[in-house]
Amino acid sequence: MDNPRTAESPAPQVIKSTVRETSFLADIKSLIKVGIINSNLITTFTGFWLAVYFTGASFTDQWLTFLLTMFGTAFVIAGGCILNNWYDRDIDHLMARTDSRPTVTGSIPINVIKWMGVIVSVLGIIILSFTTIPAALFGAFGWFTYVVLYTMWSKRKYTINTVIGSFSGAVPPLIGWAAIDPGLQLEAVILFLIMFIWQTPHFLALAMKKRDDYKAAGIPMLPVVHGFRMTKRQIVIYVACLLPLPIYLASLGSIFLSIAFALSLGWLILGIAGFFMKDDYKWATWMFVYSLNYLTIMFLTMVLVTLPFPY
């Protein structure tokens, strides 16, 4: 007769293996920052789509270029995020939102993480080079700005680190556009400006929400150094700068202009309301959530109003 303990022994091993696999996937997602990749791919796709629209190209004829653009951009961003985690391993354990990263827990060796970041970054730029060289150069510029100028240089020294990091976050729509039209157009520059200006109020709202974490880690974010009131003023100024930009995309039609203006005006009103609210953290959360919806709705609308509807 079989020993019951022996007969049941494989089950715990299967469970343990599944847990390890789940944990490994969670570690990878944490390293590459899936949320950042997804949001940036939305803007990359929009840049690609609008380039097809304004140049009169056929999207179906460009499907391979599209796949190379999306995968290349995702790899470049993922590589930069991995290296950001690798470099920040000495301060991430001080912040609640980052203390479970594999660079802190040691679940993945540090050297493996470093080389993973380098290899994924290089692969991303190589993939983009199969679209156009300008697209690859924009990808390399975004990577350099995020990894070197933001992560390694300004993040721990200056409150302006948010603005410096904004350059990298504004590059994806240029990558998408340049993959179709290396010469770019005014509309591509406006996409870049919208993304560049959007970054600061978005991340300053997050910095307000996580001020204690940044303070514990010694990162000179604006709310840590100059307080909430100064941060609120900066947020409102940047949001106000977004108001006129959609005018330069008037060729997208009145529906887009109306939605874009309503989004910007709503964000500005919510920003000004912050000077009259007592709960700064609640206001910062509202601003952060609004910024995510602003980006998604704005860029999705650009695509929807240019779809080839039959008449």
Whether 249 maps to a domain, the answer reads yes
**Chain centroid, CA 175 distance in Å:** 14
Identity of the residue numbered 152: M
d(CA 234, CA 223): 10
pLDDT digits (tens, 9 = 90+) for 73-127: 999 999 999 999 999 999 988 888 788 889 888 889 999 999 999 999 999 999 9
**Domain for residue 177, yes or no?**
yes
The 10s digit of each residue's pLDDT in 161-202 is 999 999 999 999 999 999 999 989 999 999 999 999 999 999
**Using 50, 70 and 90 to split pLDDT, how confident is the model at 22?**
low
Q: How far is residue 40's CA from residue 51's CA, in Å, rounded to a whole number?
A: 17
What is the number of H-type helices and E-type strands within the chain? 14, 0
pTM: 0.89
Summarised one tens digit per residue, pLDDT across range 271-290 is 999 999 999 999 999 999 99
According to DSSP H, which parts of 33-109 are helical? 34-55, 63-87, 102-105
**Residue 139 · residue 125 · CB < 8 Å:** yes
Whether 6 is covered by a domain: the verdict is: no
5 is a domain residue: no
Residue 1 lies in a domain: no
- Residue span of the structural domain in which 154 resides: 28-304
Q: Are 214 and 91 in contact (CB under 8 A)?
A: no
Burial of 143 (0-12, 13-18, 19+ CB in 10 A): buried
CB count in 10 Å sphere of residue 244: 10
In a domain, 15, yes or no: no
Which CATH number characterizes residue 109's domain? Answer: 1.10.600
- Is residue 56 one of the residues assigned to a domain? yes
Give the distance, in angstroms, between the CA of residue 308 and the centroid of all CA atoms in the same chain: 29
Question: Where are any strands of DSSP class E within 49-169?
Answer: none
Number of domains in the chain: 1
Is 198 a member of any domain? Answer: yes
